[in-house]
Amino acid sequence: MREAELDKEYSEMFNKLMSPEKLFKAQQAERAFMEEELRKFRESKEDGRKTIGKRH
C-alpha cells in the first residue's frame, strides 16, 4: 500500500515540474530500463544453471 501512496505523491510532484510529454518519456525510459535489467537477470540465472555440476 505504501508504494501506491508514494507513486501518487511523486506523480503529483512530477506533474508540476515536467510537461506531460517529458513525463511520458521519463516513464518510458524507466520501463525500458527495468525490462532490460530483468532480461539481464534472467539470462544470468540461465547461465548459472548451465554451469552447475560442470567441473572446470
Q: Does residue 1 fall inside a structural domain?
A: no
Handedness of CA 37, 10, 6, 8 (dihedral sign): negative
Chunked mean pLDDT (size 10), the chain, 56 residues: 88 90 94 97 84 56
The total number of structural domains in the chain stands at: 1
Q: Does residue 33 fall inside a structural domain?
A: yes
Q: Does residue 2 fall inside a structural domain?
A: no
Distance separating alpha carbons of residues 20 and 27, to the nearest angstrom: 10
Q: Does residue 30 fall inside a structural domain?
A: yes
Q: Which of 35, 29, 27, 25 is nearest to 11 (CA)?
A: 27
What is each CA distance from 39 to 24, 31, 36, 46, in whole angstroms? 23, 12, 5, 11
Alpha-carbon Rg of the chain, whole angstroms? 19
Tell me which residue range forms the domain holding 28.
19-56
Q: Report the predicted TM-score, pTM, of the whole model to 2 decimal places.
A: 0.63
